[in-house]
Structure 1
């Protein structure tokens, strides 16, 4: 019988959680109902990833472009974030999950900023799966902020422009110290990155799932993991030729 979890498990899985609104609309419910259902699915995704021995799970929770949504929907999303952290932080801590947050923290509400800091500080010493929450995150904004930091270092004389390498840039983006994602999953059938981990996903495998995020259950997660396990990752190299018969 085939194992539920593939032998070749990605170290880092990143997920674009798409489709909450469409899930609600299809059921004649307000969009907030879809977001609430999506929050419940986050809990299951963290457990499934941990059980599969994934080391890092990054979730695209709120993009820097999401502020352009209707004010009431943004307010509801902020309320759900508060609810998730206040309700689930203790459980995540008990389960040895380390929480990290990426994204720009300028101009976000002070109480939310405090909750994000609390989540990181409380779980900092945990050694289980790392749950990386991309909040107020946009990859282009991330790279602009990284370039500014590097430029300031050059301006102050602390860095030689000739010494700047890919490693230098990687050390200034939000995910510094976190390995690049091996697998990027997007739900809802859409096939684009939407300004998510543009630098980090350079060699990631992509799996686009037709289901909407609130329907992305344990079985769907394992389907994506098994698809990853079937991929041949060459990082630009040429695959070794098969041995000729009789050789």
Structure 2
């Protein structure tokens, strides 16, 4: 039976959720942050799940309205500071991926501090993809190893990536059926589940349902069984 050791989620639909309720888009992001906590806590007690990687802020998200971007930065800092106790209580290690150099110095400091304070945790690994884009990740990885005296191997490139772990199960909420520049290398053999549910309406119950569906899939990885 398949095990969803590494689950990746594209958390889409916060803004639309708020607009449908006649609220400002930022309210959708606040509601979405609450769901992040619920899903993370669920995964932390699910023994089969080792890693949870969440698409929090992409390299393309800078194109959004300035006020919305500023709110997202403040929400991220608030989330990390408030969730530190949750990480520690649930033995969760926080490992961000992406190029955080574009963020403010205080936000960079918070990200690094939470990573350091949870480094000893050996349960679930939660990764937030922050200023992340798979193409950018691949370019940065190639630049790390381009001066190697040997031919570049798949293993060398994989080890140079921000995320060095293959994805088993990739979920996207919000109704769209695309990867949006997310974990292109790591998701090479992932099973994709697309849901029309907007992220603030997603739940641990829905995730549990998806995992049960995932376990029934015959994964061949290009071979025959």
Normalised to the residue count of structure 1, the TM-score between the two structures is 0.88
Find the counterpart in structure 2 of residue 29 from structure 1.
23
Q: Secondary structure at the match of 2:9?
A: strand
Which residue, out of 85, 89, 94, partners 1:90? 85
Q: CA–CA distance in 1 between the matches of 2:200 and 2:30?
A: 9
> Does 1:189 find its partner at 2:184?
no
Q: Secondary structure at the match of 2:4?
A: coil
Q: CA–CA distance in 1 between the matches of 2:221 and 2:73?
A: 39
Larger CA Rg, structure 1 vs 2? 1
Q: CA–CA distance in 1 between the matches of 2:2 and 2:187?
A: 18
Extract unaligned runs of 5+ from structure 2: none
Q: CA–CA distance in 2 between the matches of 1:16 and 1:214?
A: 12
Find the counterpart in structure 2 of residue 138 from structure 1.
133
Find the counterpart in structure 2 of residue 45 from structure 1.
39
Find the counterpart in structure 2 of residue 120 from structure 1.
115
Q: CA–CA distance in 2 between the matches of 1:19 and 1:29?
A: 13
- 1:91-240 equivalent positions in 2, closer than 5 A: 91-151=86-146, 154=147, 159-162=148-151, 164-176=152-164, 179-239=165-225
Q: CA–CA distance in 2 between the matches of 1:149 and 1:128?
A: 29
Give CA deviations for 1:5-60 in whole Å, capped at 9, x if unaligned.
Answer: xx643100000000001100110000000000000000000011122221100000
Give CA deviations for 1:90-147 in whole Å, capped at 9, x if unaligned.
Answer: 2211211000000012221101100110111000010110001100000000011111
Q: CA–CA distance in 1 between the matches of 2:96 and 2:204?
A: 24
Assess if the C-alpha contact under 8 Å between 2:102 and 2:131 holds in 1: no
Assess if the C-alpha contact under 8 Å between 2:44 and 2:90 holds in 1: no
- Give runs of ≥4 in structure 1 deviating > 3 Å: none
Offset at residue 210 of structure 1 (A): 1.4
Extract unaligned runs of 5+ from structure 1: 1-6, 240-247
Matched positions, count:
224
Normalised to the residue count of structure 2, the TM-score between the two structures is 0.97
